[in-house]
Chains A and B, each alone.
Chain A
């Protein structure tokens, strides 16, 4: 089933491109991509004037320039509204104008954006982005509790998004805490009530807290001002992409996706501690999220780069610090959505290259798909999937320098996952750690060389052709079924 991006009604779209509920014509490209991979829903949730729309503006600005850091990546706007709205945003970005607050609307239209070959080759994403007005967030609880009318579209959009963006300006939240007593946990209460009224569990939902306007914290205009941890500040100010797209900017380094994600996680941990210790209401916020089994992630950015003297005007080129982070977080978190990703292909990073010269990764992927298994694909020695579920491992270029390891991948897969390891003439260093373990019936080693026979792993096949890979998968899946039946 595919959700209509305009009214959120799930349907098959087998009778045509028009939504059976709202009647709107849904872009064909949206339907086609959504058939193979669920869209990523993004909802901005935060108080008025905390920088939601400005962040979104910078995010779309960045999306248009991602090819500079991820070769061959490109974006497409999928409908007229998106084209017009982004053009409006872009004008603001080019002119250095800050966008005014988003106009309150019960049925906001989403931005529909496809990103191809991002964050890695052959990975595609569709984003459905709802930019909610601050006033909406402030009144959402009352609206969903009003039984006399249907919950507004924006509330249902909040429930639809697995990852919701809590956009909070630390500079402003401190001021708000003093003037109105509101703190970051007010946002969580609104979110929690909305979800409860719509009967949606918070368990395993992701909240990405985006601390915006970080540049304002660096001004020394208030001795009681929050101070971000020095490590985080260092991370913030060394963004290699802060000037991306600006006139005269130097060519940036290419995005090293896995490295970048590792750093994102570290910064998130540091910001979570900072939130608990320093941010007004932060300690209760983290405790409430943990209590409801909601996952919390944190990032920090500045979509302006310097404070605006007069509201609405900057008059300088906008600098965007760490604006790519929320996008990368959201893609990473969405890749965990599909429960069928409990299968992994692990590809070699060393060896004589036969696996790649004979196109065995794609042969293996196709063989698994024919058994209705939808794997993610990893490189040995890395913990993040290089191709997430639903993305075939094509045009594979193994990273250099990685240690050939599988343990850190296997131990992070969901319980009862299966894994298929492809090797040439070099074995993973830790392969025997998994002999005589619960992986006995779930781990398959396929090698182009007879060296695989030296391992203590139970299921191993030598395969040098596409046909042989297919045979080994047939036998292995039969074995997996058998052991699960037992």
Chain B
């Protein structure tokens, strides 16, 4: 495996970890978008669409698990799934109007390839970064560390496994020309159970929610 100097920083809106991969013109969420991050958005947005009825509609299809009771069997419920394309874009733009983007299939796969080729980072949330993350962000990050380290021997574990870019969710991406969106990735078995025909593009905001598809922050540098 190729080892690069990977940095972890805190995103400035919710203080969840972002990964800085040398050579890439964007930072990538360490994990898929969590309920906690979405809830920061909901508490600050003035967009009336995202009210309690909307939240109930999304959460009722996938469930939200508290970080105080999560384990290896239900950890995908830490993450938001089932957002429609337009909603995902609006939520992402709350982080940054100019910097947020939904990755294309190619960009997502490139990131996956990079991080699966990189050995797992030892104790990624020790030191300064632990001070910079919000307590719940740190807790969630550490839980996922435990879950992924239990699932694989340390020698085989990669940065991609730590970031749940394998055995995580399907994630929202766009086609290369940006004309439609779809889910990509090899999900955890719990998410797999939801999987339907992925050839159906998620091409507008009106289609049904897809409870197997989550999203991840991609922020231009």
Q: Which residues of A contact B (CB under 8 A)?
A: 231, 256, 259-260, 262-263, 270, 349-350, 381-383, 400-405, 407-409, 411, 429-430, 432-438, 456
Q: Which residues of B contact A (CB under 8 A)?
A: 35-36, 39-40, 42-46, 48, 51-53, 55, 59, 64, 66-69, 97, 134-136, 139
Q: Is B68 touching A401 in the complex (CB atoms < 8 A)?
A: no
A303 → chain B closest CB, angstroms: 25
Q: Is A407 touching B36 in the complex (CB atoms < 8 A)?
A: yes
Cβ contact of A405, chosen from B39, B66, B69, cutoff 8 A: B39
Q: Is B44 touching A433 in the complex (CB atoms < 8 A)?
A: no
Listed A/B pairs (16) with beta-carbon separation below 8 Å: A260-B46, A262-B45, A262-B46, A270-B97, A401-B51, A402-B52, A407-B40, A408-B39, A429-B39, A429-B55, A430-B35, A430-B36, A430-B39, A436-B68, A437-B68, A456-B68
B31 → chain A closest CB, angstroms: 16
In the complex with contacts A350-B52, A403-B55, A437-B43 CB distance below 8 A: no
Nearest B residue to A265, CB-CB: B44
Q: Is B66 touching A407 in the complex (CB atoms < 8 A)?
A: no
In the complex with contacts A401-B52, A430-B36, A433-B36, A262-B68 CB distance below 8 A: no
The distance in angstroms between the C-alpha atoms of A404 and B42, with both chains bound, is 10
Q: Which residues of A contact B51 (CB under 8 A)?
A: 400-403
A120 → chain B closest CB, angstroms: 16
Nearest 7 interchain pairs by C-beta:
A401-B51, A259-B46, A432-B66, A408-B43, A435-B68, A403-B55, A403-B52
Q: Is A437 touching B135 in the complex (CB atoms < 8 A)?
A: yes
A72 → chain B closest CB, angstroms: 23
Q: Which residues of A contact B36 (CB under 8 A)?
A: 407, 430, 433
Known A-B contacts: A256-B46, A259-B46, A429-B64. Give 20 more (CB < 8 A): A260-B46, A349-B52, A381-B52, A383-B43, A401-B52, A401-B53, A403-B51, A403-B52, A404-B52, A405-B42, A408-B44, A409-B43, A429-B39, A429-B59, A432-B68, A433-B136, A434-B68, A435-B66, A437-B139, A456-B69
Per DSSP, chain B at the interface is helix
The distance in angstroms between the C-alpha atoms of A400 and B35, with both chains bound, is 21
Nearest B residue to A379, CB-CB: B43
Nearest A residue to B66, CB-CB: A432
The distance in angstroms between the C-alpha atoms of A434 and B39, with both chains bound, is 15
Q: Which residues of B contact A429 (CB under 8 A)?
A: 39, 55, 59, 64
Centre residue among A231, A259, A383, A407 by max chain B CB count within 10 A: A407
B27 → chain A closest CB, angstroms: 17
Q: Is B136 touching A411 in the complex (CB atoms < 8 A)?
A: yes
The distance in angstroms between the C-alpha atoms of A430 and B55, with both chains bound, is 13
The distance in angstroms between the C-alpha atoms of A363 and B139, with both chains bound, is 35
Q: Is A411 touching B134 in the complex (CB atoms < 8 A)?
A: yes
Q: Is B97 touching A231 in the complex (CB atoms < 8 A)?
A: yes
The distance in angstroms between the C-alpha atoms of A309 and B44, with both chains bound, is 42
Q: Which residues of B contact A437 (CB under 8 A)?
A: 68, 135, 139
Nearest B residue to A430, CB-CB: B39
Q: Which residues of B contact A382 (CB under 8 A)?
A: 43
Cβ contact of A432, chosen from B42, B48, B69, cutoff 8 A: B69
In the complex with contacts A401-B48, A438-B135, A381-B43 CB distance below 8 A: yes
The distance in angstroms between the C-alpha atoms of A435 and B36, with both chains bound, is 15
A322 → chain B closest CB, angstroms: 16
The distance in angstroms between the C-alpha atoms of A438 and B134, with both chains bound, is 12
Q: Which residues of A contact B64 (CB under 8 A)?
A: 429
Q: Is B40 touching A408 in the complex (CB atoms < 8 A)?
A: yes
A266 → chain B closest CB, angstroms: 8
Nearest A residue to B69, CB-CB: A432
Q: Which residues of A contact B53 (CB under 8 A)?
A: 401
Nearest B residue to A260, CB-CB: B46
The distance in angstroms between the C-alpha atoms of A405 and B56, with both chains bound, is 13
The distance in angstroms between the C-alpha atoms of A411 and B132, with both chains bound, is 12
In the complex with contacts A403-B55, A433-B36, A456-B68, A383-B136 CB distance below 8 A: no
The distance in angstroms between the C-alpha atoms of A257 and B178, with both chains bound, is 37
The distance in angstroms between the C-alpha atoms of A215 and B53, with both chains bound, is 41
The distance in angstroms between the C-alpha atoms of A401 and B48, with both chains bound, is 8
A40 → chain B closest CB, angstroms: 24
Nearest B residue to A382, CB-CB: B43
Nearest B residue to A404, CB-CB: B52
